[in-house]
Amino acid sequence: MTARKSAVHVVDHPLVRHKLTLMRDKAVSTKGFRQLLNEIGMLLCYEVTRDLPTELVEVETPIERTMQPAIAGKKLVFAPILRAGVGFLDGMLDLVPSARVAHVGLYRDPETLEAVEYYFKAPADIADRLVIVMDPMLATANSAVAAISRLKARGAKDIRFVCLLAAPEGIERLTKAHPDVAVWTAAIDRGLNEHGYIVPGLGDAGDRMFGTK
Ligand code: PRP
Ligand code: URA
């Protein structure tokens, strides 16, 4: 693995910013919240895959044979952190339908804010693939750090992290713990409150997605 200085990319496209503003509104329905998360997932996927290598392949058009670019290398792995990370998955799979999926089940203990693992299932050959870890919220980064450590222990070497909202504290902790992992986020908010929630944020993403509160 080539260790590189971690980068943080803020995807501030007007469509992303507009949809994120709609999602912050506490009056948005569960259905609306899920739909918007799905749409933003698609837009973030476009950005996080922007520099994927391509190779020339032969194709026969109705007119002639020609060499044209196609994505090179092995299929990607999308790794949603359960539950809320699943909200990005469909949108990303719409753009990259052949991607493999690794599920990382973690919840944040409400007292300690530590991540607790309850499920893990990843493709066997993850070491040879680019892994895109996804979770709408990067708050303390305990969940992201734990998920990425778990994927690395399984052999993943080339990892990117995508979120919707990040706190500066989370970005600092994640980039310190995993300096080789670049981050894509739609916005960086002001900080965390005393319960570890992002402010102004959008509340509990999992609860808003699944209507569990
Ligand atoms: C939320 C969110 C992240 C985590 C972020 O999950 O989806 O996984 O909190 O917080 P952190 O950066 O401080 O770790 P939660 O634990 O609420 O589980 P859920 O997705 O099942 O609701
Ligand atoms: N998890 C969430 O769902 N929201 C936050 O603001 C912080 C952690």
Residue 73 CA: distances (Å) to CA of 85, 130, 182, 203, 204: 25, 9, 20, 38, 37
Q: Which residues are catalytic?
A: 108, 112, 204, 207
Question: Where exactly are the structural domains of the chain?
Answer: 5-49+76-210
Give the pLDDT score at 7: 95
Closest approach atom of ligand 1 to CA 206: 22
Interval between CA 189 and ligand 2 midpoint (Å) = 12
Evaluate whether 44 touches 20 at the Cβ level (below 8 Å).
Answer: no
110-159 tens-digit pLDDT: 999 999 999 999 999 999 999 999 999 999 999 999 999 999 999 999 99
The CATH number corresponding to 5-49+76-210 among 3.40.50.2020, 2.60.40.10, 3.40.50.300, 1.10.645.10 equals 3.40.50.2020
Give the separation between CA 144 and CA 80, rounded to whole angstroms.
10
Give the pLDDT score at 74: 86
List of the chain residues with pLDDT < 50 = 1-3
Please state whether the predicted TM-score (pTM) of the whole model is above 0.85.
yes
Give the pLDDT score at 5: 55
